[in-house]
Amino acid sequence: MRSAEEKTVLLCALDDDLEGLKGILERTFTDDAAQSENILWEKDEVGRNALFAACMMGRSAIVRELVQNGAADVNELTARGYSPLHCSAMWGQLDTLKTLVELNADFQAINFRGEKAVDVARRYDKLDCAEYLAWAEAKQNLQAFIQEVRAIVADQEKVQGKLNKEDKNICINTCSAKSDWINNTRTATAQDFIEQKKLLEDVLAPVLLKLNAQPEASMKTRKN
């Protein structure tokens, strides 16, 4: 058995040794750079590093520690395009999936078969994981659209001469209402999020369409 000084990040992941991992990461900043790199990026016999091993084994605390300390990339891909999200889905590690989602894992990453993590979960009959991923992606899509609209309204250069005060208020108030709905609806399903996004798109479509139109002043200048 290796001593604490000899233990690597990979071994900590395999042993679910959170305290050992924290100790290694703390020492990494003062160790020799080459030695630190070897400790951090060691792989097992089939090429998996600590993050992928932790995802497959459901070591959620290890995953969080690695990603939050910059010792691993939550969206790293293997040579065949598998992400940590794919691996957790494949092995049915629901709690670890939730951790990865909290850490901003990419739902859209696809493997060499063109599968997202939700597709892999379905292929391996990990139905609880598939259901969660579909729900989380639908929620994220609604939140992302709200953020996109808010960013557009806040961009004075983009909206100048195209959106009036009423248009901006429609965007702001409608987005606020949807955000409140997300925060207050505890039992929303994936379909609920999909429907709410569609409703939001329908309400804002006439306003956002104006962004693609030429400003009135610009059109007058061209005519002259």
Where exactly are the structural domains of the chain?
Answer: 9-125, 136-216
- CA 198 centroid distance within chain: 21
pTM above 0.85, yes or no: no
Query: How far apart, in whole angstroms, are the C-alpha atoms of residue 117 and residue 83?
Result: 8
pLDDT digits (tens, 9 = 90+) for 6-42: 578 999 999 999 999 999 888 876 665 545 555 566 7
Tally the residues of the chain: 224
H-assigned helices in the chain: 9-15, 18-28, 33-41, 50-57, 60-68, 84-90, 94-102, 117-123, 127-154, 156-159, 165-184, 190-209, 216-223
Asked if domains 9-125 and 136-216 share a fold, the reply is no
The CATH number that domain 9-125 falls under is 1.25.40.20
**138 has pLDDT over 70:** yes
Burial class (CB in 10 A: 0-12, 13-18, 19+), 118: buried
39 near 11, Cβ under 8 Å? no
Fold (topology level) of 136-216: Substrate Binding Domain Of Dnak; Chain:A; Domain 2 (1.20.1270)
